[in-house]
Amino acid sequence: MRRVRRSEGYEVQLTIKEENFINPPRAIQRSAVINRALKEFSADIEAIDEQAKHFVPGNVATEIREIHDRTHTKLSDQEIMEDWQIPLMQAMADVICETQGDILEIGFGRGISSDMIQAYDVKSHTIIECNEAVINDYFQEWKEKYQGNDIRMVQGLWQDRIDDIGLFDGIFFHTYPLNEEEYMKYVQESITFAEHFFPYASSHLNPGGSFTYFSNEIDSLSREHQRLLLKHFSSFSIQTVALTMPEDVKDIWWANSIVVVKAIK
């Protein structure tokens, strides 16, 4: 079976070589689902064409290939979190703090998102942070602003510590690859960097609790991404957050918007 979709800008050709590949009871069913898949792929290509017109040139980050272990590396403010991400942090804090319950934050960074979480007067605020310099240089001073609040720092990799800390009403996930191996596995080979955290988020949320992260998609979620979410959560919603991107942004994001996800246990 061969299917082709054409436009002035591109041509998509699908050739199915195996007779039993996508083989429902009726031929019309096979044609319907294959044609729909091609139509959706073509729509994605056309959307990307429009989105690419608004990209900034950027300066692709190389730091991840130069740092072998970020748990002990002293990082600059912009290496910890670039300023263009601040609107995302606010959107994510709004998502998980609605109930003002027990909040888990993965990655403290510069404390910007932690300030946003504390603004909601949450019941408790647990933070997992692996970088010693971040804890010493940022967290200790930051915590002085919130004396009397239930704030707990858990030092270490979330992979090593998360099973020790119980259940939460909201989980805020904002961290980064620690080395080149993680970059290749969880950025290059995954639909979103947060994907490997999905089962942990689900198992550490109270029923009805929410988990948030930002995806590497501009204005929607792919079907693959949606299927992955629904393996671990009962429902999800998204919002598109507008961004002001520096022309020379030192990161792997160039578009003027990005998707923030809210997944419900």
pLDDT for 104? 98
- Residue 93: CB atoms within 10 Å: 24
Angle at 211 between CA 98 and CA 220, to 5 degrees: 100
pLDDT for 67? 47
pLDDT, tens only, 28-38 = 999 999 999 99
pLDDT for 80? 55
pLDDT for 58? 87
pLDDT for 209? 97
Q: Please determine, for residue 64, whether its predicted confidence score (pLDDT) is greater than 60.
A: no
Q: Please determine, for residue 112, whether its predicted confidence score (pLDDT) is greater than 50.
A: yes
pLDDT for 248? 86
Min mean pLDDT across 8-12, 77-81, 170-174 is at: 77-81
pLDDT for 175? 81
Give the model's confidence band at 65: pLDDT under 50 very low, under 70 low, under 90 confident, else very high. Answer: very low
User: Which pTM does this prediction carry?
Assistant: 0.88
Q: Are strands 11-15 and 205-214 parallel, antiparallel or unpaired?
A: unpaired
Please give the Cα distance from 167 to 104 (Å, whole number). Answer: 9
Domain ranges of the chain: 2-52, 63-264
CATH superfamily of domain region 63-264: Vaccinia Virus protein VP39 (3.40.50.150)
Mean pLDDT of 19-35: 95
Helices assigned H by DSSP within the chain: 27-52, 63-66, 77-80, 86-96, 112-118, 132-134, 140-143, 158-161, 180-182, 198-203, 223-232
